[in-house]
Amino acid sequence: MAWCGVAWLLARTSVPSLHLSGLDERRYFSAHAIGEARRYSRGEELLWALGTISSLAALIVLARRLPPAVREMGLGRIGSAVVAGMVLLVTLWFVSLPFSFAGLWWQHHWGLGPFNLFAWLGTQWSTLAPQAVSVMAGIVLLVGLAGRFKRWWLIAAPVIVVIAALFAFVSGWLAAASSHPLRNSVLAADAVRLADVEHVGGTPVRVQDVSSWTTQANAYTVGFGPSTRVVLWNTLLDGRFSRGQENVVIAHELGHVRSRHIIKALGWSALIVLPTLWLLALLTRRRGGVGDPANLPFAILVLAVLTVLTSPVQNAVSRRYESEADWRALNATRDPASARALFESFERTSLEQPNPPGWDYVLLENHPTLMQRIAMAEAWRARNAAP
């Protein structure tokens, strides 16, 4: 009951009850544009499906083949866990590499970015290092606690949440180090004004250069408290978007800050981690539990399957928060025309489907659809129309 109460509180948003379905996408997008977005998305969906199946298949093979080798290592529980973890990490990285490469080519084929192998490889290596550190730390924590305590998940869950919060906090400073301030004085003044409107004055808005590997436009909020940063991709500022559209994006990200969505996401982590670890302990018990390093491949397989199964819930929560950020942006800018134009432009600049299939929406989409976002802008206009 307490779990449900906390989940209900975390799921609450400031968005009023709105009817966001029923708009005809053909009123806003040409048949050619809809067809292009659909064809591009089908390729991305196929790559996601093949990548997910390949990773699960690799884990199944490792769960069958790796345990005997781990038991023969004689390196102790932690040492064997570290070696097994590295084998798992490197294997999964190599399995995912062809699909990442295919994704790079697919984006280039559709004009969404340069075919820059060096930039792509640099991105792959840069993401591998932090992944390795976090994965190995998690493995040592789980194996160490499971080897000493019967109900290890009760101890591990809060520790994992604290570590996640620390990473979320530090990521704000890391984002600052890899970005630069807004150089457009007019837009910088707009950002200051919008931050004041959103009651989050003083929030830095910075720019990250991504044009070496993509032409798609995006932005994100990172960190919390004093480390909070709003980061815009430089592709958002390359002249394809109007000042009003850029302001909508800035206000959207500041809406995340005002609504404390990162802290709320940590709250969801606290709710999900404990039952996930309990279920992991239950499913690995017959094999000797997570405390046995030989069971790590099976444990990671279980976690991977649980991640796929729970992705609809994670996406639903993300869509609620993104909707709230959209609503706050409309209230802050009071410019539904620019919001609508921005969402329409995402079909051109990112080949985003205006109205994706239901299974895609449930499994893959962590933002509202373009049609839902356009419908919200139209609903805001209707609610705030002069009498």
pLDDT level of residue 69 (50, 70, 90 thresholds): confident
Q: What does the pLDDT average to over 125-144?
A: 79
pLDDT level of residue 3 (50, 70, 90 thresholds): confident
Question: What pLDDT is stored for residue 82 in this prediction?
Answer: 85
Q: What does the pLDDT average to over 353-377?
A: 94
Give Cβ neighbours of residue 2 (< 8 Å, ≥ 6 apart): none
Question: What pLDDT is stored for residue 148 in this prediction?
Answer: 85
DSSP run (H or E) holding 136: helix 117-146
Give Cβ neighbours of residue 370 (< 8 Å, ≥ 6 apart): 25, 343, 344, 346, 347, 352, 353, 354, 355
Percent of the chain with pLDDT over 70: 99
Q: Has residue 145 got a pLDDT over 70?
A: yes
- Read off the amino acid at residue 359: W
Q: Has residue 75 got a pLDDT over 90?
A: no
Q: What does the pLDDT average to over 3-30?
A: 87
CA distance 260 to 347: 29
pLDDT level of residue 387 (50, 70, 90 thresholds): low
CA distance 174 to 190: 24
- What is the per-residue pLDDT across 274-320, written as a single tens digit (0 to 9) for each? 899 999 999 988 888 888 888 889 999 999 999 999 999 999 999 99
More confident residue, 61 or 286: 61
More confident residue, 303 or 137: 303
CA distance 381 to 86: 54
Least-confidence region, from 114-123, 192-201, 243-252, 311-320: 114-123
DSSP string, 303-345: HHHHHHHHHHHHHHHHHHHHHHHHHHHHHHH--HHHHHHHHHH
Question: What pLDDT is stored for residue 139 in this prediction?
Answer: 83
E-only strand ranges, 246-303: none
Give Cβ neighbours of residue 184 (< 8 Å, ≥ 6 apart): 237
| Mean pLDDT (the chain, rounded) | 90
Residue of 88, 90, 85 lying closest to 144 (CA atoms): 85
State the pTM of this model.
0.92
Task: Specify which residues 232 forms β-bridges with.
Answer: 207, 219
Percent of the chain with pLDDT over 90: 63
Question: What pLDDT is stored for residue 135 in this prediction?
Answer: 80
Question: What pLDDT is stored for residue 386 in this prediction?
Answer: 60
Tokens matching residue 55 = 């990773």
pLDDT level of residue 74 (50, 70, 90 thresholds): confident
DSSP string, 61-106: HHHHHHHHHHHTS-SHHHHHHHHHHHHHHHHHHHHHHHHHHHHHHH
